Structures are given as structure tokens and as C-alpha cells.
Structure 1
């Protein structure tokens, strides 16, 4: 029931790297304590390390970049990262439990399962539990406490490995304020959902601090047979402490310590519904899921040092450590059959379905697995930034180096139950370590260099990344709980790879710029796997438009995989051994990302704004060769088969009214139909997730200078829809829910 959180230094409006975050924090401190003395050299340093740099900076990146500001986050007060990201084109999402606790995020067709195919960071530090050896994000930073969110795709994302095919997601935590102040935010709504978010801090000349908590709980929107809680409780804590030299020191330096903690208890299950039961009672939870519960604890520590060596050179070094422990106790098998197979074919498993619905059974009929795992992730990373001019050409160069190691320790068992009058009764307790008893780990060196070259109307951004990864898996078997090594099997692998990339932008005129890029995509194989690394060559080209009132972009992408990997996870619902990897060979993913934002009242004399937002993503992802696989989502594949869980069409639209002390915003997303198993042509009904559209409403009213009240409605039209057919059976999206809240700044 604990889960402590991952954090690093933060930057409110700039950058994506530790360097950019560090410079921003340094500048914030310097501007608050020495506003009159803020040096032009530091300003130039901040400009040089701009990677996203807010909405305007995102328009200048040689690649696809999106910045979601704190103001945008406040429009709907989302705590679910799925809803936060849904207006970003090129991002693929698959909801699961309705709250975004363990999201499934992909980019440009990478696959979405547990966000394992993207580089996930908080403040520029890897945030997955074990990014190299077990990247599936069973822990995800609390989106509700973030100050802003950055998304990077394309050639410029090679700085953020190890996964470089789709892109990187960087969650930016709350910064230390420039002066004493804070905020209290309390809200309550449907299903006894409660949120309490509070933070405060202060900056002095040489010492600054910030403390924050985010408490989030709900009774859940699903109805368990015979009653019971289907919700969750989370507690999130974050502190930052910073010391720095005098702003006018010959070498300005700062040292920032960041500590985070997150605890979670969630009564969540992998057991979904049959299609008939979903059609009749979509928010039902079967009796056989009554024991299912996730308990998790996480802690993270980071120490960042920044030094401005000269007006045109600085270095940032970060030490980080993350510990994560979780035990998801959940139903896995009934009468020896996996729940995914039962729900896929309920007519052939009528006896098992009767027990799942609460009918009496014999002893040991239900198997509940204690998915007990402990993770750690730690390392040191350093970025040296420098800039110089050669005639009319400007160079901004970054050199980065990281040593990282991580590990996942599985020590699991299975308890057996019978169903007695709708209640599960323990009949045989499993011995710890008797189901899975193994340790997987990785050690990795990574380095990159990237030069942003500006001349005339051109910006070129060549870059090169190197990854050297050693993995090891030690499997002690199921009969050696003390790990004496009597049945030990050791598997070791190494991967070394160079990852080049090149991006370019051309400023055609004051309003229009053109962009193009090419880079190598890479994802490392898991420890113990004999699979080759995932590799691709990725292209993008497009244009941007910005006239100060209307802003838009359209980018086409083409990812040419020479080898696509699929990884067996419990969340994928595949009937395979957890951790096994499968090679699909050649795959082609191509598509289009487009977005437009426009203030309809900008050129009028209205006293209010009418912001309009549109977004569209088209994705075509097909296998280029045929094969047979025990990976359930692929199965028997023919050339031309479409990849599963990737809708071809996604459309978003939003419009709002903003006045001086109130605003209202509507946001809608259409998700096209998608198949759940690879195939082509018409999608069979039992392999399809139907298209749907969900509309959200948000509004707030500032009734005093420092206070406002807000109301949000998610799923305004109360649409009933399915989001997936995995891990086991049909899963519903969240129904209509309300939240009423009050914010006070001080």
C-alpha cells in the first residue's frame, strides 16, 4: 500500500533534458533574488538549451514537439494522463481502469501496452520502474500534480533513450516558487472521488524549498457482485531543497535535492466481461475478482548539480535512485484455464464462467497469483552544453553521458480458492517463490551529442546516440525459495548500437516553416530474451503555420521496421510466458499528424476569448511478412495484416469561452474502431473495439483575487463504450462523472 514517486529537477517553460531543467531552475532563482542583476549571459544560456520552451519553442523544434502548459491542464483539472494527452496528435492511447493509474501509451504506432515502447521521464530522469530490464510502467507518476507535460517525437528524440522509435514523454513536476506562496486545491465528486492537492515553498538568496502533496481516492465506478469497493487510494508527496551561490559569483552553481514518495492501494483487476454481460451491465465486476488488489510503494531521490562555467558553457550532473515494490494479487486461472482464454470463448467454458459469476466450486478451483515484484533504478547522468558562433552560423552543442543500472526481482506464488455462495474462500496457500523466482537486471552506458546549427533561414540538428547494454537474468526455479542456486539458470546478453538522427527546419516566411527528419529507431530486448533488438528507420516531413492568432502543423511520418518486437506481459492478455519476446520482422507504420488552434475572437473587440482546437491522427500499421506466433495479439500473421490496438483515425476538437474571471471549455475525442488481434479486411465482432466519442466539460469562476471554484464533467454525454478486450474480456470506459472543487492561492 505504498508507492513512492519518481522525480528530478524541474523547469516550468524550458527544455526536456536535465540541462534545460537545471538552467530554468537556476534562472528562476536568480531572477527572483537578483532581478535587477540577472545577467545576459545566463539569459543566453537559457535560450541556448531550449528544447521545447513552451508553446512558442515547440514551433521551432526540428521535429514534432508538444508542450501542455499549467494553464491548459487547469481547464479540465485532469488527473488522468490519458485525457491530458488525447489532444496531442500522434499519441496512441488505450484506457484500462478509467483513472490512468497504469496507462498504455504509444507514439506513432509503437504499441501501447504499459507504455513500454516510449521513453518515460519525470523532469528528464527515467521514470519507469526498471527502464531497461522491465520497462512496463506498472508505476506511473501522478499526472494530477504535474505543472506541465512535454511530448517529443521524431529525430530530435534520440537524446532521450533507450527507446527512440516513437518518442519521449516528459512530465514536469512543480517548481520551487520565486517567492513565498502556495496553493490548496480540494475537490469531491462522483463515486466518492476525492482529491486534495496542496503545495507551498519559498526562495531566498541562497536557499530555496518546496513541499507538495497530492491525495487522490475513489470508491470506483464498477459494481462488484455481492458488493465491495472497486476504487483506489493514492498518496503522493514531493519535496525540493536548493542551495546556490551568489548570482554574481564567477562560477554560478546550484545543488538541488528532490525527494518523492507515492503509496497506492487499488482494488483493480484484469478480469473483464463477456460481450453479452458488457451489453447488459457494462460496469459489472464478477465475483471472482473480489480478492484482486494492487499494493505498491515507491521512493525516489535525486541530487542535481548545475554549474555555469562561462557565459557560453555549463554542465549539469544528476544522481538518481528509484525504488518500487508492488504486489498485484489477482485472479489468474479458473479450473486450470487462464482467464483471458475463458473470456475469449465463454461458451466453451460455461462451468468456469458460472464460478466466475459467483457459483459454488470445488476446492482449489480459482488460482489467485501474488505478483510480487521489487524494482530499483539508479544512475548518474551529465550534460555539457556549449555555444559558439562561426561567422553567420550559430552552434548550440550538447554532450551527454549516462551510466544506468536497474533490476526487477520476481518472488511470486499462487493461492487457491473455492467459491462458496459468492464468497472466495482460501483452500490452499502457496509457498512464496513457488510460482516465479527470478531476478533480471541491466547495466547500460549511454552517450549522445547533438548540435543545433542555425544559419540564414535554416536550422539543422544532427545528433548521434550510443547505447551499450548488458542484461542478465537469474532464474532460480520454483523449488529453491532460499536461492541456493541448486536449479539456477543464468542468461546474459549484450547490445551495442549507434543511433544517428538528423532534423532540419526551413523558415519559409514569417508564418510558415518546413521541417523534415530521419533517425534510427531502437528498443532493446528484455533480459533472458534471444530476440534481436527492435530497429527501424524513421522519416518525417511537414510544415508549421503561426501568425500569432492561428497556429497549426501537419507532419507525415513513415517508420520502416526491420524487426518489430512484441513482449508478453500479463496486461497484454496473451497466453504466453511473462517476459518472452517475439520477433515480427519487417513492419511499416505510416501516418499523418495535424493540429490547429485559433482564437476566434482575437481580431474583434470582444472582452473574451474563443479558443478553438482541432487535432487529427491517421495511422496505418501493417506487417510486411507472414509468420506464426504464440503471442496472442499477433497469432498467425499474413503480409498486409494490420497491427492490433492502433485505430486508423483519431480526431479531437475543443472550444472554450474565456473571460477575465470565468471560463468554460468543451473537449471531445473521437476514437476510430480498432482490432484486438492482427488481421485485415472486416474486423470480427469478437476482435473489435468499436469507435466512440467522449465529450468533457470544464469550467471555473474566480470569485476572489486568490480563490476560484471549478466544476468538471467527464463523459458529459454519458457514453457507454468499450476501451479494450484485454487483459481478459471487455473493459468499459469511465461513465459520466462530476467533480466540484475549490482552489485558493496564498
Structure 2
């Protein structure tokens, strides 16, 4: 299957022999107001959804048994460009667009690694709405619900001569089902496009998100059994201002050559403040000081910039058309992580601290990648598509890991460089309205920043920690029946080697000396 260009996401697609799904949200009867991802993704078999809070602000998607934690096993995108914190250092997606603004959701399983990155899960892309017919349109959706929920989505868009534009603002707030779980979220997005000719377009878009949520905290099993709606934490808060922008240039040089270039960036933060003891420790006022205990403050600052160029070239071998997809990616990311700051004794969202952050780290990621996939059509019905991707990834880390008796505990300066080739092969045989497909594609996951910086100073990192590697394979039969039934029967195999995790060990192998967490490569999935 070849898709020349998606006019909304401005992305050139080339997925012969790959397993992929497209969700058209206008055809789904789901709760878009609160981003109810279980209802939205219910039509895709094998997808795991994790709801780690009740606001619907974050969408957590996993596939094929992989962790859904902030979709970090997927290459998460909006209109074809990255929206996660750091694709190769800290790939958690703290932002996703409000589903009221989304037209389609595109999910390509592990075989996408050759065109979008080496992720085991594949690629997840949110394609936003655009007005392409009217000169001016206005859309508003206003919702009220239980527990003080109020939501308002308003958008304007239009297409006038050579210009197109689309702007929306989404605001939502609620008190939450549990105690101490109120939240407010705002998403604002602006898009403008200028068409030089019918085949050459330049567009720019900018997204700003800001949310603040109160975190109700965990409960012991006994507390949950007694009252699952109770909360023993009223001073815990989380906030994530997020800014994403891109500049897109699309051109069709001739009938055989189409090109797309994106320049994109992200500036965001992850902020938390709260009392972080275990659930069985009460957060109460100290009678001696007449104050609460000081809270802990953790902050991340992200700055990412990248460029991607994608092309499709059509050519003939004999009398049969063949297709070549190729491109290049340049990417640089910086993450500053400050943690374990001595926060205030107050109850409101307040990130001020007393003194210095105990942990102050700086991480950078540099990435250069090139890819090529060629669809060789043996006949009009049967095609074979070999592909290759080369990744160069360089991670560096430096800073302060902690403070002991007033002295800095240095984080060992680390520089890790990798040169990783990835190979894949896809095959497809077409019938009238159905096709058989098969593919196998290598995948790769480098050691993350979080793997190198354990939450506790007493934890130990394996000095020989290895990157994860493996592959995805698919075999399936899909198609349509009389324009009312779409089907896809498939089998997959996922090999995930050197998965990283923590195991508890005794200090000096002595059960009387206590334990520590040892972070290492645990095995194979």
C-alpha cells in the first residue's frame, strides 16, 4: 500500500506489507470530551490502555504486551512530528491533543521502525482537524458533567484563495471522582498554510498546552477496601506546560517525485510537588512546629529540535511501476532534570524550594538517521519491499547526583554513542478487495536517562547495562467486503531482548544487612 500524501498531517506514507490502522473519530461513538481512550481505541485489537489518573489529560497506549506508560514504547506524533519529551532519552508523552480536535488516529505496528524510528511498538500519530472547503467555519462543543466537570472546545477555520487556517482552544476543569483530584487543562493550537501552486505548500503550526492537576495519592489495600474514593494527600500537584511547533514544506516536483520536509521543536516542562511518603504514612501537621512537613519538588525542562525529510520516487522496471521511499532525520534534545528539592509546607501548587536541588542533571541526545525502502512489484498483484534504516545516537549526561553532608555527589560524566543499522522485509499479495501481507523488521531501544538515574541514591546501576534489541514480525489477511465490512486477521511475533528492570538484592549478599534495587538487563520477552 502506498499513500502519496495526507493533506492534514502533511506526511508521506509508504506501508506496503505493514500492519496499520486508521481510526476516523467522526465514525466512532465515544466520549471525546474527557479523552476516554478505552472507547476510542476499542476497535483496535491488541491495544492496552492505562488510565493512571481520572482527568483524561494523558493518553497511555501500549501494543503487543508492551508498557502503555505514557505511550513510551511508541513513536508518538502529532501531524507527523514528535511530541514526546525526548525520543531516545525519555520518550514519555506528557502531552496529547484533545480528541475533540482530532480527525484521525494512525497506528502502525512495529514495522514502522524503518521510516519513523526504531521503537518496538511502532508509530502513533494524531492527525488534527482542518477546514478545507469553506472560507470560514466555526465549531463549538460545550459539556458539563458530574463532579464539577466543565469543558469548552471552540475552533475556527477556513480556506481563502491560497491561504488556509485553523485555530482552536480547549479548556476543561473538574473536581474529580476521588477526593483531592481536581484539575484544569487548556490546549490552544494555530495552523496556517500558503499554497504557492497546487503542488507546493508551506505551512506552520503551534500548540500550547498548560495543565495543573491535584494528585490524590495511593492507598493501601486496606484503605482501598474501606473507601476507594478517599485520599490522604491534599498537597500533591502535577503540572506540565508544553509547547510544540513545526514548519512543513510539501512539494510534488513531478508525477513521479513527491517530497515533504518538516522542521519541528518542543519546549516543555514536567513539574511535581508533594508529600511522597508511602500511603501508610499520614501527611499531618506536626504539633511541635504547627506546620506540615516540607514537600518534595521535582522538575524537568525539555528543549528538542529536529528536521525530517521524506520522499517517494516512482519509477518503472519494465512495464511495472515501482516505488522508492527514502529520507533523513536530524534531531537534538536537551533535558535538565532537577529533583529532591525541599519544597514549602503549604498546600497549593508551589514550586519554590529552600536551598538547592539535591539532584541536578543535564542530558543531551543527538540523532542522525537515514532510511530507504523499495517496493519491487514482481507483478501488479505481488510486491516485495526490502528496507534499511541507519541510526546514529549519541547520549551524554553530567551533573550532580546528590548532596551528602554539604558535598556534591557527582554524576559520572557519560557519553554513549551507537551506530545501529536496522533491516526489514515486507511482502504483499493483492486480490480484488483483499490482500495477504507479511513483514519482519528489526527494532531497537537505547538505554534511557531514567535507567541511568535511579530514584534512590542507594539503588545500583549495572555498569554493563545494554541497549534492548529485537524484531517484529506479522502475517495477516485483510480487506473489505461489499463496502460495509473491514477485517484484518493477523498473527504477530515480538522479540524483545535485554529488557531493563530492577531486582531486589541483599547488601553484601547478607539478609541481615537490608536490600537495594539493582537495575540491569533482566531477560527476553
| TM-score relative to the length of structure 2 | 0.85
8 Å Cα contact 1:127-1:141 kept in structure 2: no
Q: CA deviation at 1:462?
A: 2.1
Per-residue CA distance 1:193-225 (angstroms, 9 max, x = gap)? 11111111221222221111111211111124x
8 Å Cα contact 1:325-1:374 kept in structure 2: yes
Structure 2 residue aligned with 1:560, among 489, 492, 495? 495
CA distance in structure 2 between the aligned counterparts of 1:479 and 1:456, rounded to whole angstroms: 67
Quote the residue 2:328 is aligned against: 401
Alignment of 1:181-192 (within 5 A): 181-192=137-148
Quote the residue 1:132 is aligned against: 88
Quote the residue 1:304 is aligned against: 248
Structure 2 residue aligned with 1:495, among 414, 418, 438? 418
CA distance in structure 1 between the aligned counterparts of 2:94 and 2:197, rounded to whole angstroms: 42
CA distance in structure 2 between the aligned counterparts of 1:425 and 1:135, rounded to whole angstroms: 29
SS at match of 2:275: strand
Q: CA deviation at 1:522?
A: 1.0
CA distance in structure 2 between the aligned counterparts of 1:327 and 1:222, rounded to whole angstroms: 22
8 Å Cα contact 2:183-2:211 kept in structure 1: yes
Quote the residue 1:34 is aligned against: none
Structure 1 residue aligned with 2:21, among 51, 63, 66? 66
Q: CA deviation at 1:330?
A: 2.3
8 Å Cα contact 1:68-1:150 kept in structure 2: yes
Q: 1:153 to 1:75 in 2, by over 3 A?
A: same
Q: CA deviation at 1:258?
A: 0.6
Alignment of 1:1-20 (within 5 A): 20=5
Q: CA deviation at 1:556?
A: 1.2
CA distance in structure 2 between the aligned counterparts of 1:520 and 1:217, rounded to whole angstroms: 43
Alignment of 1:685-704 (within 5 A): none
Q: 1:185 to 1:540 in 2, by over 3 A?
A: same
Q: CA deviation at 1:185?
A: 1.1
Structure 2 residue aligned with 1:412, among 322, 333, 339? 339
CA distance in structure 2 between the aligned counterparts of 1:362 and 1:393, rounded to whole angstroms: 85
Q: 1:264 to 1:221 in 2, by over 3 A?
A: same
Say whether 1:241 aligns with 2:188: no
Structure 2: segments with no counterpart, 5+ residues = 453-462, 504-514
CA distance in structure 2 between the aligned counterparts of 1:73 and 1:213, rounded to whole angstroms: 22
Alignment of 1:576-725 (within 5 A): 582-587=520-525
Q: CA deviation at 1:382?
A: 0.8
Say whether 1:281 aligns with 2:227: yes
Q: 1:453 to 1:71 in 2, by over 3 A?
A: farther
Quote the residue 1:714 is aligned against: none
Say whether 1:232 aligns with 2:193: no
1 or 2, which has the higher strand percentage?
Answer: 2
Say whether 1:325 aligns with 2:269: yes
CA distance in structure 1 between the aligned counterparts of 2:344 and 2:356, rounded to whole angstroms: 18
CA distance in structure 2 between the aligned counterparts of 1:471 and 1:567, rounded to whole angstroms: 22
Q: CA deviation at 1:168?
A: 1.3
Per-residue CA distance 1:380-433 (angstroms, 9 max, x = gap)? 111122112223432122111010011211123433788xxxx9799xx85354
Q: 1:183 to 1:360 in 2, by over 3 A?
A: same
Q: CA deviation at 1:545?
A: 4.4
SS at match of 2:240: strand
Say whether 1:122 aligns with 2:122: no
Q: 1:424 to 1:457 in 2, by over 3 A?
A: closer
Q: CA deviation at 1:511?
A: 4.9
CA distance in structure 1 between the aligned counterparts of 2:380 and 2:472, rounded to whole angstroms: 27
CA distance in structure 2 between the aligned counterparts of 1:24 and 1:453, rounded to whole angstroms: 28
8 Å Cα contact 1:20-1:51 kept in structure 2: no
CA distance in structure 2 between the aligned counterparts of 1:525 and 1:153, rounded to whole angstroms: 21
Say whether 1:373 aligns with 2:300: yes
CA distance in structure 1 between the aligned counterparts of 2:221 and 2:9, rounded to whole angstroms: 52
Say whether 1:382 aligns with 2:309: yes
Say whether 1:221 aligns with 2:184: no
| TM-score relative to the length of structure 1 | 0.61
Say whether 1:440 aligns with 2:384: no
SS at match of 1:223: coil
SS at match of 1:192: coil
CA distance in structure 2 between the aligned counterparts of 1:172 and 1:380, rounded to whole angstroms: 19
Quote the residue 1:198 is aligned against: 154
CA distance in structure 2 between the aligned counterparts of 1:177 and 1:425, rounded to whole angstroms: 44
8 Å Cα contact 1:413-1:431 kept in structure 2: no
CA distance in structure 2 between the aligned counterparts of 1:300 and 1:465, rounded to whole angstroms: 26
Structure 2 residue aligned with 1:259, among 190, 203, 206? 206
1 or 2, which has the higher helix percentage?
Answer: 1
Q: CA deviation at 1:189?
A: 0.9
CA distance in structure 2 between the aligned counterparts of 1:118 and 1:552, rounded to whole angstroms: 24
Q: CA deviation at 1:519?
A: 1.0
SS at match of 1:323: strand
Quote the residue 1:518 is aligned against: 440
Q: CA deviation at 1:474?
A: 1.0
Quote the residue 1:77 is aligned against: 32
SS at match of 2:222: helix
Structure 1: segments with no counterpart, 5+ residues = 1-13, 27-45, 53-60, 225-229, 334-338, 347-351, 569-574, 588-746
Q: CA deviation at 1:375?
A: 0.6
SS at match of 2:54: coil
CA distance in structure 2 between the aligned counterparts of 1:197 and 1:434, rounded to whole angstroms: 39
Quote the residue 1:538 is aligned against: 472
Tell me which of the two structures has the higher relative contact order, counting C-alpha pairs closer than 8 angstroms and 6 or more residues apart: 1
Q: CA deviation at 1:581?
A: 5.3
Structure 1 residue aligned with 2:236, among 292, 295, 300? 292
Q: CA deviation at 1:305?
A: 1.1
CA distance in structure 1 between the aligned counterparts of 2:59 and 2:160, rounded to whole angstroms: 38
Quote the residue 2:389 is aligned against: 465
SS at match of 1:114: helix
CA distance in structure 2 between the aligned counterparts of 1:524 and 1:117, rounded to whole angstroms: 11
Q: 1:491 to 1:157 in 2, by over 3 A?
A: closer
Per-residue CA distance 1:136-189 (angstroms, 9 max, x = gap)? 2233333332121111114244312141x1211111112243222131111111
Range with greater deviation from structure 2 (373-382 or 151-160): 151-160
Q: 1:171 to 1:566 in 2, by over 3 A?
A: farther
8 Å Cα contact 1:433-1:478 kept in structure 2: no
8 Å Cα contact 1:413-1:430 kept in structure 2: no
